[in-house]
Amino acid sequence: MLRLLEKDGVLVHPGYFFDFPRDAFLVVSLLPSPEILDEAVDRILRLINEN
């Protein structure tokens, strides 16, 4: 998650902050404009696909 913030400027929270299982969830905010949210999702997916 730190890599995503440092490299791509996207802040996510681990699911366990919200009582989700530790290894399976990220929490994102849906407050940004659709364009910003689309770009953030693209960056998250790019990081996932790199691994």
1-51 pLDDT per residue, tens: 788 889 888 888 888 888 987 777 888 888 889 999 999 999 999 988 987
Q: Are 4 and 10 in contact (CB under 8 A)?
A: yes
Q: How far apart are CA 20 and CA 34, in angstroms?
A: 25
CA 36 to the chain's CA centroid: 13
**pLDDT confidence of residue 49:** 93
Domain boundaries, position 26: 2-50
**pLDDT confidence of residue 14:** 86
How many domains are there within the chain? 1
| Residues ≥6 apart with Cβ < 8 Å to 9 | 43
Beta pairing partners, 13? 27
Q: How far apart are CA 39 and CA 10, in angstroms?
A: 9
